Amino acid sequence: MTAFWVLAPIMVIAALGLVFARKAVHAALCLAVVMISLAVLYAAQGAPFLFAVQIIVYTGAIMMLFLFVLMLVGVESSESVKETIAGQRVAAAAIGLIFGITLVLAVGQTVSGAVTGLKAANGNGNVYGLSDLLFGKYVLAFEFTSALLITAALGAMVLAHKERLTPRHSQADIAARRMQEYAESGRHPGPLPTPGVFARHNAVDTPALLPDGSPLDSSISASLVARGQVRDGFDDDIHEIVEQLEGEGDDK
Amino acid sequence: MNEYITLSLILFTIGSVGVLVRRNAIVVFMCIELMLNATNLAFVSFSRQHGNLDGQVAAFFVMVVAAAEVVVGLSIIVSIYRTRRSASVDEASLLKS
């Protein structure tokens, strides 16, 4: 019972974090906490096979799939806090409260009597008991799950497949387009300028300075700009340095 | 009433509120996973309550179906994102008059 009272508050807090976290990656990490805690609760309730399956399938496979898709769809797009439907959150909280009370009342009436425990059912071991049921009583359902998994794999392949509508850009095409751009708009055909690492600060979130002391925006990685992680507040330091140098010159 | 069942009901309710409140399709999907996990906990607890393993077999089947569902659901989200450049459930409103 100790495991339950330690893990239950953690699970509820993590589940609330899943609802309230603004960034999708934080929500995914909260969900992973809930899933691992659930696995421990399975082990505490006499289900060692489900403990292993929960870790391998849920936290191992499904959470990784979620994180992969988050990387594809864009981590930097955090959800806006603005409500699109007026009063949606209050209504959702009220409905959730009513739903929870209904669930507790309905299920509370069905759960009665003492806990039997799994001592007898797990007599030959949990995996033996489960396989006896899976390949005996539930063998038809088990066979159907294989059809379901094959269908799901095929469906995912069809949905994720993309026909190439435009011809592929080769390296020669990209070079030709850059030279064309240089001829038309004067945009520099070479690589982008490096950030102001070491010259001003020891990280790549610092823009390089132009000779007149203004920061060069194109020297910063576009994804840092999208996340709003560009370090600024350096705009006046060039003037401070100039003043210091002039002060030293006066001393001499 | 069993504490484990109570916890699973709380988690299920939190998941359903998340489905109603969140607008990022992936987070909505994660809330659905939370609801599935809560039902699994209820299955395992009922299995212990009644002293047979049928509940654990049911939880196992839920996991299999959830794995298939996640694969198809996430590929649908990816293909929607490819065409509309957004994973928000509010953006997909083409059928609205």
- The domain boundary, picked from A161, A182, A212, lies at A161
Judge whether A100 lies within some domain.
no
Instruction: Please check the confidence at residue B92 and state whether its pLDDT lies above 70.
Output: no
User: Tokens standing for A167?
Assistant: 């011809």
Instruction: Please check the confidence at residue A239 and state whether its pLDDT lies above 80.
Output: no
Instruction: Please check the confidence at residue A78 and state whether its pLDDT lies above 70.
Output: no
DSSP state of A215: E
Please report the DSSP string for B35-95 in residue order.
HHHHHHHHHHHHHHHHTSSHHHHHHHHHHHHHHHHHHHHHHHHHHHHHHHS--BTTT--TT
pLDDT band at A40 (very low <50, low <70, confident <90, very high): very high
The arithmetic mean of pLDDT across residues B70-77, rounded, is 91
CA–CA gap between residue B59 and residue B25 (Å, rounded): 25
Judge whether A24 lies within some domain.
yes
Residue A66: which of A28, A95, A96 has the closest Cα? A28
Contact call for A28 and B30, based on CB within 8 A: yes
Contact call for B77 and A152, based on CB within 8 A: no
Check residue B16 and give its pLDDT. 94
Check residue A223 and give its pLDDT. 80
Judge whether A109 lies within some domain.
no
Residue A103: which of B69, B19, B91, B16 has the closest Cα? B16
Instruction: Please check the confidence at residue A85 and state whether its pLDDT lies above 90.
Output: no
A32 in Cβ contact with A39 (< 8 Å)? no
The arithmetic mean of pLDDT across residues B68-97, rounded, is 81
Backbone angles phi, psi at B91, to 5 degrees: -75, -35
Greater model confidence, A170 or A242: A170
Q: Sign of torsion, CA A103 A104 A110 A111?
A: positive
Judge whether A55 lies within some domain.
yes
Instruction: Please check the confidence at residue A207 and state whether its pLDDT lies above 60.
Output: yes
On the 0-12 / 13-18 / 19+ scale of CB atoms within 10 A, A63 is buried
Please report the DSSP string for A34-45 in residue order.
HHHHHHHHHHHT
Check residue A141 and give its pLDDT. 93
Check residue B38 and give its pLDDT. 95
| Whole-number average pLDDT of chain A | 84
Q: Which of B13, B51, B87 sits opposite A121 (nearest CB)?
A: B51
Task: Give the domain range for residue A141.
Answer: 132-161
Greater model confidence, A84 or A225: A225
Name beta bridge partners: A208: A216
- Pick the most confident of A157-166, A199-208, A225-234, B33-42: B33-42
Instruction: Please check the confidence at residue A79 and state whether its pLDDT lies above 90.
Output: no
Instruction: Please check the confidence at residue B26 and state whether its pLDDT lies above 60.
Output: yes
Instruction: Please check the confidence at residue A251 and state whether its pLDDT lies above 70.
Output: no
CA–CA gap between residue A246 and residue A240 (Å, rounded): 10
Query: Which chain B residues have a beta carbon less than 8 Å from that of A88?
Result: 20-21
Instruction: Please check the confidence at residue A14 and state whether its pLDDT lies above 90.
Output: yes
pLDDT band at A195 (very low <50, low <70, confident <90, very high): confident
Query: Which chain B residues have a beta carbon less than 8 Å from that of A100?
Result: 9-10, 13
Greater model confidence, A71 or A8: A8
On the 0-12 / 13-18 / 19+ scale of CB atoms within 10 A, A213 is middle
Regarding whether A5 and A67 lie in a shared domain, the answer is yes
Contact call for B63 and A107, based on CB within 8 A: no
Judge whether A46 lies within some domain.
yes
Regarding whether A53 and A12 lie in a shared domain, the answer is yes
- The domain boundary, picked from A71, A96, A111, lies at A71
User: Tokens standing for A248?
Assistant: 């030293």
Helix/strand/coil for B17: helix
The arithmetic mean of pLDDT across residues B5-23, rounded, is 92
Instruction: Please give the ipTM for the structure prediction.
Output: 0.91
CA–CA gap between residue B18 and residue A30 (Å, rounded): 13
Regarding whether A3 and A60 lie in a shared domain, the answer is yes
Helices (H), chain A: 2-20, 24-44, 48-53, 63-73, 88-110, 126-134, 139-160, 171-185, 222-227, 237-251
Shortest Cα distance, chain B CAs vs residue A219, angstroms: 26
The arithmetic mean of pLDDT across residues A26-42, rounded, is 94
Helix/strand/coil for A201: strand
The arithmetic mean of pLDDT across residues B5-33, rounded, is 92
Quick one: closest CA in A to B13, which residue?
A100
pLDDT band at A86 (very low <50, low <70, confident <90, very high): confident
Greater model confidence, A243 or A8: A8
Check residue A2 and give its pLDDT. 87
- The domain boundary, picked from A34, A51, A71, lies at A71
CATH of the domain at A7: 1.20.120.1200
User: Considering its fold, how many domains does chain A have in total?
Assistant: 3
Check residue B7 and give its pLDDT. 92
Regarding whether A217 and A157 lie in a shared domain, the answer is no
Residue A45: which of B51, B39, B34 has the closest Cα? B51
Judge whether A219 lies within some domain.
yes
Judge whether A49 lies within some domain.
yes
CB within 8 A of B87, min separation 6: which ones? Answer: A73, A74, A77, B24, B25, B26, B77, B80, B81
Greater model confidence, B95 or B8: B8
CB within 8 A of A182, min separation 6: which ones? Answer: A188, A189
Judge whether A99 lies within some domain.
no
Per-residue pLDDT tens digits for A92-131: 999 999 999 998 888 888 777 777 778 777 888 889 999 9
User: How many interchain CB pairs under 8 A, A with B?
Assistant: 215
- Pick the most confident of A26-30, A248-252, B21-25: A26-30
Contact call for A66 and B31, based on CB within 8 A: no
